[in-house]
Amino acid sequence: MDAKKCLQKLKYVGVLAFATVDGYGNPQIRNISAIHYEAESMYFFTAKGKDFCRELLNDGRVQILGYTKYKEMIRLSAKAVPVCDEDQPKYINMIFEEQPYLYNLYPNDTRMLGGIVFKITDAEIQYFNLGVNPIFRETYTIGNKKAIFKGYNITDNCIGCGKCADNCPQSCIEKGNPYKIQQNHCLHCGICFGLCPVKAIEKI
C-alpha cells in the first residue's frame, strides 16, 4: 500500500465524506463525489455560494474519509486551496466530463458562473484495514505534508511483566526489554495503556 494506491481506492469508493470547520469552530460534514484524481493530488468541485466553499476559503482544513467494501478505512487530512483563476475552467470541465450527472445540476455555462475547484496536493493519508488479521494500518504523505505519529509507545520503564501482551486484542506486542508494539497492527484501543502496572506505556 502507498499514497497513490490509497487515492485510487478513494476513487473507486466514489462518494467521500468531507469534514470542514465552520466559523464557530463546529465540525461540518458533506458527501462529495465531484472529484478529479491525479497520481498524488485531487481536485474537487463545489459551488461558490455554499457554506462548504466559505469554510474552505476561510480555514481550508479538510478531512476526507472513504470506506471500501473490503473494510479499508482511508482518511486524508489536508488543507484545500482554490485552483488558480486561469486553471479553473480546465478543472471544472475535466470534473464535469468525468461525472456527467453534474450537467444536470449546472447546465449550459452555469458551472463556470457558480462553480469553483479546490485542490489538495499536500496531505497525510491514514490507511486502516480492518478486514485482515491482524488489522493493518500505515500512514503515508503526499507533497510536503509531514506525518504525525499517533498511538502508543512502550518506554524504558517497562519491567517485562507481560500483562500488556497477554491482553492485547491484536497480539501485536512483542516480548523484549522493553516490550515493543508492532505499530502497523495496533488498534489504538488503549487496553495496554490502562493495564500497565508501572505506567510504562505512553500515548503519543
Residues near ligand SF4, by CB under 6 A = 152, 154, 158-164, 168-170, 172-173, 178-179, 181, 186-192, 195-196, 198, 200-201
Q: Which is nearer to ligand SF4, 93 or 182 (CB)?
A: 182
Q: Which is nearer to ligand SF4, 58 or 157 (CB)?
A: 157
Q: Which is nearer to ligand SF4, 97 or 202 (CB)?
A: 202
DSSP string, the chain: --HHHHHHHHHHH-SEEEEEE-TTS-EEEEEE--EEEETTEEEEEEETTSHHHHHHHHT-EEEEEEE-TTSEEEEEEEE-EEPPGGGHHHHHHHHHHH-TTHHHHS-TTHHHHHEEEEEE-SEEEEEEE-SSSS-EEEEEEETTPPP---SEEE-TT-----HHHHH-TT--EE-SSS-EE-GGG-----HHHHH-TT--EEE-
**Smallest gap from residue 74 Cβ to ligand SF4 (A):** 20
Q: Which is nearer to ligand SF4, 123 or 192 (CB)?
A: 192
Q: Which is nearer to ligand SF4, 131 or 143 (CB)?
A: 131
Q: Which is nearer to ligand SF4, 16 or 181 (CB)?
A: 181
Amino acid identity at 84: C
CA 78 to each of CA 19, 56, 69: distance values in angstroms, whole numbers, following the listed order: 11, 11, 24
Amino acid identity at 35: I
**Smallest gap from residue 138 Cβ to ligand SF4 (A):** 14
